[in-house]
Chain A
Amino acid sequence: MMRLVLALLALAASGAASAQQGAPSADAPKDAATPTQSATHAGMGHPAAACAEAKVDCAATAVPAFAKDGRLWVAFSVGKSVYAAASSDNGATFSAPTAIATVGDGVIDAHGDARPKIVALKDGTLLATYTTRPDKQMIGTIFTARSTDGGKTFSAPQALLNEGGQRFDSIVVNRKGRIYAGWLDKTHALKAKAEGKEFLGSGVAFAYSDDGGKTFKGKSILIDHACECCRMSGALDKDGTPVFAWRQVLDGNVRDHMVAKLSADAARATATRVSDDDWAINSCPHHGPSIAIDAAGDWHVVWFTKGKKRQGLYYARSLDAGKSFSEPEKFGDDARAAGHPTLVAAKGRLYRVWKEFDGTTTTVAMQMSRDNGKSWTAPRVVAQTLDASDHPELIAHNGAAYLSWLTHKEGYRLMPLPRDEKSAAAPQ
């Protein structure tokens, strides 16, 4: 047995050489998960999915977007199909969903941080994105599909890229209608592996579209070594360019957070570290950050860490466009495994929500700030469930903020968040 322990230590020392063993081969076929325009699905879902029907309540994840006409759209997947469904009553009921795609082989990334998404453009166009992975490889392909008829039909999905490997897209649209996409890209990692070199994590890649998502230009990996299993988050800065946040793999396998402001042509990204948490770990947290930018142009970031310097959920803000960040401020209850924080800015108010679990009940807790994140109301429970649930999502529309949460027992819920401190602080 001692031999085994020594062998382990030796393997640890040679970890550099083996670090890419688990990565898929560079010449893997990319067409294995080509989607088709079929509404049928194979019925193979995540374990104990609520049900197998083509409706949002049967999905594991749901991402909302308000369309110009006031309808709430939700992107989700059930089995091997991706759908979008609309609600005219803020999520109480949904019309029959529109099938966006069905994958013949492989899986749709719709679990934990990975999820199909939808954004609504000013001209009424809906842009849906989702990621597929073939059965035998861990290589993702991001697809986009558009609807220009109010969600009745979607265009044949197009791969954002046909080689490499992409996951965790984040879409940000500016006031002029330019669409920015950020995602995590394995291309450099696959290349390094083919050359027998070490490469930790994924690249951070960007592109933009000026034709409503029909085509994306300037696709390029601008930063390397993002943690490959945590979501990216994006927000629009005051000047109309986007800012993205993600978990980076820094020297010494430290998995702390970075933000980057993108140039208008998506060709340059200026990255800074949000916080020195010193989480040195060779693991997948499966737990990405969230960024929001308020009307004044202040940046706000929330994240999870188990670093040497701090553990739990943290918040920091930057008043100088990312040059510096405030001292991280802890929130959430560690005794209840606080996790999956997200935040949103809505008309002079900032909201942050996160999940807590006490062994029986999962709670979404909320705090509001009316002074750009300097102070926050006491945490208040805004929703609960006694069974499986999605991560909480926040969405702002017409100056109001909403919690969007899909739970196994209750189904999909869209809940308006309080607008004043008094009701925000009131016990449930």
Chain B
Amino acid sequence: MDFKPYGRGAFGQLTKAHAGKPLIVHYWSVTCPPCLVELPQWAKIAAEKKGFDIVFVNTDGDDERARAQARIEKVGLSRAEHYGFADAFVEKLYFEADSAWRGELPFTALVAPDGGVVTVTGAVDDPLIVEWLEKRVRK
């Protein structure tokens, strides 16, 4: 598996590349225990998803990437699309996804087909994420 570099402009490039289709961008780190606890649930969402795309972004540095990869393999997420933070200017990377994001994790951007973004700080069972997934089902 491979972590594609996630640098300045990456969020815009991702939403552009997935335009026309709903997209989830999920940010996580090996230094975030709640992220690791819920990673299997994200693996399940990625495996069963229909009608939307999902991208995972590991916010750790290069020195943590082996550990991140081991986690991904453990939960069976190797075949998903993965990015890794490749720029120490993290404020910029946060800002591009959500100008109010200070780096708290887990963090998820729910992107509509027209590019509209709703962000969620916190766990996968957040009502906004659950509703978003339900809405995709109705469609």
Contacts and interface: CB of A to CB of B under 8 A. Distances in A.
17 contacts: A9-B125, A9-B130, A15-B37, A15-B125, A21-B37, A47-B61, A47-B85, A47-B87, A111-B31, A228-B33, A229-B31, A282-B34, A283-B105, A359-B92, A359-B95, A388-B88, A408-B88
B118 interface: no
Interface string A1-41: 11111011101100100111111000000000000000000
A11 B114 CA distance: 31
B88 to A, nearest CB: 4
Contacts of A285: 102, 104
Contacts of A44: 62-63
Given A283-B122, A306-B104, A2 B137 contact: yes
A287 interface: yes
B70 interface: yes
A135 B66 contact: yes
A60 B90 CA distance: 12
B28 to A, nearest CB: 10
Interface string A283-305: 11111000000000000000010
Contacts of A135: 66-67
Interface of A, secondary structure class, is loop
Contacts of B84: 47
A407 to B, nearest CB: 10
Contacts of A387: 89
B73 interface: no
A5 B105 contact: no
Contact of B70 (A136, A283, A340): A136
B72 interface: no
Given A48-B88, A337-B95, A337-B100, A22 B37 contact: yes
Interface in B66-121: 66-67, 70, 84-92, 94-95, 99-107, 121
B88 A4 contact: no
Contact of A284 (B35, B48, B49, B133): B35
Contact of A283 (B34, B44, B91, B137): B34
A5 B126 CA distance: 11
Contacts of B35: 22, 284
Nearest to B30: A138
A388 B101 contact: no
Given A284-B29, A337-B94, 7 more contacts: A11-B41, A11-B125, A21-B37, A282-B122, A337-B91, A337-B100, A359-B95
Contacts of A228: 33
Contacts of A11: 41, 125
Interface in B38-53: 39-41, 44-45, 48-50
Contacts of A19: 37
Interface residues of B, number: 55
A123 B28 CA distance: 45
Interface residues of A, number: 56
A46 interface: yes
B39 to A, nearest CB: 8
Contact of B105 (A47, A138, A286): A286
Contacts of B64: 107
Nearest to B36: A22
B33 A23 contact: yes
A43 to B, nearest CB: 10
Contacts of A50: 88
Contact of A8 (B39, B41, B67): B41
A46 B27 CA distance: 17
Contacts of A282: 34, 122-123
A283 B134 contact: no
A334 B99 CA distance: 9
Contact of B89 (A7, A20, A48, A339): A48
A45 interface: yes
A362 interface: yes
B136 A284 contact: no
B32 A284 contact: yes
B37 to A, nearest CB: 4
Contacts of B54: none
Nearest to A284: B32
Contacts of A4: 44-45, 48, 133
B134 to A, nearest CB: 5
Contact of A107 (B34, B39, B50, B63): B63
A400 interface: no
A112 interface: yes
A252 to B, nearest CB: 13
